[in-house]
Structure 1
Amino acid sequence: MRVVNAGQRIEFTTDYRIDVAKWDTDKQRIDIVTPKYALLGTHVGRRTFICNALF
């Protein structure tokens, strides 16, 4: 990953490997389809955490 801030460039590795089958060459990004149940579980988990922290 490369980050540029105020003209200073920093590069570091993320240890994240990309499967070639998921790479979209036209868009130059990963073509990921996430099932809705996975997103819903994350949303409910965050909301539960915040509600429990407040009350």
Structure 2
Amino acid sequence: MTEDLKILYAVLLKFKGKVSKIEYKNNTYTFRLICPYPSESDWMRIFTVILTPNEEM
């Protein structure tokens, strides 16, 4: 398993299926994540995680 796949797997485990979209372009993974946010209103917090593979590999 490459280091990139390990990172991808860790992200997916951490957010437990809350990844709404994964894009891969220009050697960069972009994850669009929907995570519950603890507040009085029942809205979801959406943010993006960008992982760039190590160019030395």
TM (norm. structure 2) is 0.22
Which one scores higher on RCO, CA 8 angstroms, separation ≥ 6?
2
Which one has a bigger Cα radius of gyration?
1
Name the structure with the higher helix share: 1
Name the structure with the higher strand share: 2
TM (norm. structure 1) is 0.23
